[in-house]
Structure 1
């Protein structure tokens, strides 16, 4: 997965888009990592000639790779670092990677001592005693509470540690066929349109009416993408140069809305086409809300206040082929007349 870094014009922070942005954090189930040799700064456009320069990112090659063998149907997890959890009070009872390592050692020691007895009751009793010790924190106690049977203990010993008790870390291929959404119909390549940078190209033949790609959306306040911050993260008057963040160019929004929606898949690569300005490039896809996604439909009928409260809420957007799309053809949508003007 080669994701494209969205450079921000007013800080040194970056947001990695593409399929890599879908990887969640689980400190005990990390199976992918980001390569240290990327992203690369590779200017695509000449800022003295190309009108699109500055509207697209010049960073690429943020690679996500498998850190271990991954069974088909497993979810990808990456490490944000234990400090990410420790810095958020709302997650003070969630285990860190160190918590899992300590529990795995405790279980191994207990197993060696109590295996001759062969009774789970003894094992459970020791776990209760350990939980009552004053120096055992809430993170470790929360792991102890997941151990409910002899099978759980065996899974910890031979199946990859206490984190392996997480039942929702993988799904059967049958379940994915019924409930999953295909994300590899398109791939990244340089567009042949002037000043367009990279584009999304069809990996295979896509029939009219089929879903090209589905993308969950991350919500931002527009004002946060238009303000300028100093080194202390305080809002200051914008400088003479453009202060709006590059990220804003990849978001969808309504002119009267205060919210900007950022796609979390390769859908961010889909470029614009229309014949309104004399171009001969027609769009071959369109966007719509995911009609069969329950959370999306719920959010569309919710108040803005409720949407803000649900920080993890992700509405889904679908990109639909409006005609047959051939393999290796660039996928294009109409951004709208307001965007062109």
Structure 2
């Protein structure tokens, strides 16, 4: 999972869920690769729509509360014009490649830029010279020098002097990735479509979101491919320390509900293609089934390998195909039969009593009215919010030009004015910070706020407000203030939440993988 996870602050304020948070973003968030110099897409998120991408069930009435993710609707936009057939690349962050030893000599953007400059300068120096052998010798000298001085840049430079003109024309990043753009013929032969499904509100009670057909799908046809991440069940167990030496298991991660598994195997398989995670269960109305994929991308030979060997691999190789078991109409919800074990577990869960937490206040409820006044610290002394929620403010902190003033106790006070141009369209929840509302003032129909802004627990160093500083931001618009549940307070941390993987049929799972 390590190679597929995103930091919590990339996932719509998920960083507030716990002390340390990572998230998985199926679809483009897990299928796309990264290239340091060919980024052509980026996550798209707008603060106005943030709560539209949070599902919610009430613990007071819903048995499904905490059983489904409240985070969905992750969108990606083109960062530039993308030619038909191009591979999509997103940024994994500036440190993703440099911090991994296996990529110690992989060029990053600055190396490709430097290589482009060196090649252009060399070509300019060779104008009017026709001795190709002499040019190659001079180029070899440059390559040897770069090999000693800067191996990353050296890796971005062609060996053959005859290839320099082409590399200069398209850039070294494109030069070393000749298959960056595939033909339509190649894609038809080697690719699989993922646009047969779209998510929406499920017709199944307590199921949350569902997957619906975007077109008519004939019986026996592929509904969606499902590449799989293999996971050991123990990885998803949640532990609590009871003393200095001992831990106890007190539940499983929510991810378990989105995995395929078998009661007699320690293997879990998580599908990470687009929208398939929204396919819900029905024993009577199922119109789809899983089978091992017929795609060349599926490593069929893995099914003969020992289970421990499969679980130890750091790359994926297994795939399911989700196949229509009857004709599926346009707009019809796609449903799987999750199996007897899942049904039995759900029926047991339904017998449990839902605690009546009347004093539980949800961030979703508070965020519905985006025009309401947010209480100041002074007002909360007599009329507090309930303890499960906290207030966050959108603010992107930059250490430069702080305008600090020395205050009492060695603290430095920083006064900033909220800037619409700087903060409009800030991506995800990474710049939502805990804040205390100090005052508000009405201008026309809208409130603007002054707030003290803080760091959240896990942040990049360059984003942190120094411990010795107090940051106060003025003129914050109401839409840039949002409520969120405090850590370990949202539905997925609810102790009675349902947890059960989708059952892999006996005839699909190799018998030598049944190790429990």
1:329 aligned to 2:338?
no
Deviations 1:19-77 (A, max 9, x none): 43211111122111112537935233112211111111111232111111111111111
Which position in structure 2 is the counterpart of 1:157?
Answer: 168
Write the distance in 1 (CA, Å) between the matches of 2:99 and 2:338: 39
Which position in structure 2 is the counterpart of 1:250?
Answer: 258
* Residue in structure 2 matching 1:40, options 43, 47, 50: 50
1:264 aligned to 2:272?
yes
Q: TM-score, normalised by structure 1?
A: 0.85
Deviations 1:78-114 (A, max 9, x none): 1112411121111212212222121112112222222
Residue 320 of structure 1, CA deviation: 0.4
Structure exhibiting the larger radius of gyration computed from Cα positions: 2
Write the distance in 2 (CA, Å) between the matches of 1:120 and 1:249: 63
Which shifted more, 176-185 or 288-297?
Answer: 288-297
> Are the aligned partners of 2:123 and 2:165 in contact in 1 as well (CA < 8 Å)?
no
| SS of corresponding position for 2:299 | helix
> Are the aligned partners of 2:297 and 2:317 in contact in 1 as well (CA < 8 Å)?
no
> Are the aligned partners of 1:5 and 1:57 in contact in 2 as well (CA < 8 Å)?
no
1:90 aligned to 2:102?
yes
* Residue in structure 2 matching 1:29, options 30, 38, 43: 38
| SS of corresponding position for 1:68 | coil
Q: How many residue pairs align between the two structures?
A: 324
Write the distance in 2 (CA, Å) between the matches of 1:131 and 1:55: 57
Relative to structure 1, is the Cα distance of residues 217 and 283 closer, same or farther in structure 2, using a 3 angstrom cutoff? same
Deviations 1:111-147 (A, max 9, x none): 2222332555455434432332375333222222x44
Q: TM-score, normalised by structure 2?
A: 0.58
Residue 238 of structure 1, CA deviation: 5.7
List runs of 5+ in structure 2 lacking aligned partners. 1-9, 345-516
List runs of 5+ in structure 1 lacking aligned partners. 276-281
Residue 178 of structure 1, CA deviation: 1.4
Residue 294 of structure 1, CA deviation: 5.9
> Are the aligned partners of 2:139 and 2:161 in contact in 1 as well (CA < 8 Å)?
no
Write the distance in 2 (CA, Å) between the matches of 1:288 and 1:14: 27
* Residue in structure 2 matching 1:71, options 83, 99, 113: 83
* 1:146-295 aligned within 5 A: 146-148=158-160, 150=162, 152-228=163-239, 237=247, 243-265=251-273, 266-275=275-284, 282-293=285-296, 295=298
Write the distance in 1 (CA, Å) between the matches of 2:240 and 2:31: 27
RMSD value, Cα: 2.7
Residue 243 of structure 1, CA deviation: 4.4
Write the distance in 1 (CA, Å) between the matches of 2:143 and 2:308: 39
Deviations 1:171-193 (A, max 9, x none): 11011111211111111111121
